[in-house]
Amino acid sequence: MSEEKFDVIVVGGGLAGSTAAYILAEQGLEVLLIERGNYGGSKNMTGGRLYSHSLEKIIPNFAEEAPVERRVVKEAVTMMTENDAVTFNFRSPRLAETGSDSYVVLRGEFDRWLFDKAEEEGAIATSGIKVDELIVENKKVKGVICGGEEMLADVVILADGVNSLLAEKAGLRPRVKPSQVAVGAKEVYELPSKVIEDRFGLEENEGAAWLFAGSPTNGLVGGGFLYTNKQSISIGMVVNLERIGESDKTIEDMMNEFTKHPEVAPLIKDGKLVERSGHVVPEAGLSMVSTLYGDGFLICGDAAGFCLNIGYMVRGMDFAIASGEMAAKAVLKAREKEDFSSATLKIYKDMLDESFVMKDLSLYKKFPSFMDNPRIFNEYPEMLSNIMADMFIVNGNHGIPLRKKAMKHIKSVGLLNLVKDGLRGVKSI
């Protein structure tokens, strides 16, 4: 057994883990940060956009040095049927104000930067090493085992991602259920910056974020996404796993139809595919947050289930960073008391409860069950697109009052359903 004992071992060099290691190393603690991939971020992927606020607090003006792709100035949400698209668009300089801005990022580069920052601050950052299991004695986490070698610490911070095999194997949290997660698939298409800027109406360094609901997911809960990088476009979709077995299409079929949709195909035209990635996304919001702390350990980021998808907004990375920060602060408090038991580490949960992390998860706790409604992905996009068609198509037939046209399409879904779902929707956000 190794003689050495670290103050803290952080498992996982993603955003939560690297943030925690960065802060703890900055405070002079002896931190071991362990990443199984060959560099921080090499196993990670996002849609994806990072809301800057939580990292901005820790590393002010981080976007000046970090490898961000583009700052989002344009938001779009599209309801889609097989051939149609109805889009809501929002562009505002307010989206790009420091502290309320957001950046499109690619995790392979971005996480690597934060991982290296943690190392610069003095953390012992190791990559290419997999933690095989936790050392647990009398329900207290004492350290980790990598390739047969034991490493000990006062506290272990688990930031090992949505699957968190370590926490599950040690019995610290239950296995993730299919209904709680979505599978995400993404493709990155390389295109010249100028082409991207022209296609999306952007200036240099400006970015667009675009979400799609309806036909892409073949009636299942989920949606498509598109984000502009500097010299590429990230495009993909997420599909909840609960009913995926009943689908008559594979996720690959859905991806192909989505990327060939008349609204989407021209956006990625002539792009060269440079990567196809996949990942599991926590989607159940508050209801999947389980164990957060215990004797000698804390769980943060995706491993804790911190992720929020409310249809027009998807967040996870800002939660990961904030939870990594709070995990670090909890460890610092525990050191003051020289007590790393669950009684002291509970302060992590208290901090989370007081912060936007738990407040936002609580606020939107009804959203996942609201989304579990096939009308949102089938009937409503169809209804909206039919109303639009009646509004915009002129073919020489005499006109009918808009309210009558609209009512015809609303009746096809059922006015009562619309009112009921509308109320549920409003209550869930």
Partner 1 sequence: MSLSIEEKLSVNKFFVDEENAHIEIDPAYPDLKEKMKLVNACPAGLYKLNDDETLSFDYAGCLECGTCRILCLGTVVKKWEYPEDTKGVEFRYG
Interacting residue ranges for partner 1, rule: CB under 8 A? 36-38, 41-46, 106-109, 111, 128-130, 147, 162-163, 165, 175-178, 181, 183-185, 187-188, 229, 232, 234, 239, 241, 244-247, 249-252, 256, 259-260, 265, 269, 273-280
Nearer to partner 1, 317 or 328 (CB): 317
Looking at residue 360, its amino acid is D
Cβ 189 to partner 1, closest distance in Å? 10
CB of 264 to partner 1, least distance (A): 12
Give me the least distance between CB of 387 and partner 1, in Å please: 32
- Return the SS3 of 313: coil
Which amino acid appears at position 426 of this protein? V
Minimum Å distance from CB 344 to partner 1? Answer: 31
> What's the min distance (Å) between Cβ of 129 and partner 1?
5
- 145 or 407, CB closer to partner 1? 145
Sign of CA dihedral 41, 232, 61, 162: negative
**Least CB distance from residue 17 to partner 1, whole Å?**
15
Judge contact between 164 and 52, C-beta under 8 A.
no
Closest CB to partner 1 among 267 and 345? 267
- Listed as own residue / partner, the contacts of 1-5 with beta carbons closer than 8 Å and 24 or more positions apart are 1/150, 2/149, 2/150, 2/151, 2/152, 4/151, 4/152, 5/143, 5/152, 5/153, 5/154
Integer Cα distance of 291 and 18 in angstroms = 21
What single DSSP character describes residue 244? Answer: G
Q: Select 175 or 420, whichever has its Cβ closest to partner 1.
A: 175
Cβ neighbour number for residue 160 with a 10 Å cutoff: 28
Reading the block at residue 53, the tokens are 């606020």
* Burial class (CB within 10 angstroms; exposed 0-12, middle 13-18, buried 19+) of 3: exposed
Yes or no: say if 416 and 405 are a contact pair by the CB < 8 Å rule.
Answer: no
Measured CA to CA, the distance from residue 40 to residue 355 in angstroms comes to: 27
Looking at the Cβ atoms of 89 and 250, the one nearer to partner 1 is 250
Query: Which of 111/318 has CB closer to partner 1?
Result: 111
Q: Which is nearer to partner 1, 254 or 326 (CB)?
A: 254
C-alpha distances (whole Å) from 169 to each of 133, 136, 165, 305 are 8, 11, 6, 17
Considering the complex, what minimum distance in angstroms separates the CB of residue 327 from partner 1?
22
> How far apart are CB 134 and partner 1 at their closest, in Å?
15
- The least CB distance from residue 336 to partner 1, in Å, is 35
Q: Which residues is 141 bridged to in the sheet? A: 136
Tell me the residue ranges of DSSP E strands in 139-221. 140-146, 149-158, 181-190, 206-214
Q: Is the Cβ of residue 68 or residue 331 nearer to partner 1 in the bound state?
A: 68
Which structure tokens are listed for 272?
């060269």
Nearer to partner 1, 114 or 358 (CB): 114
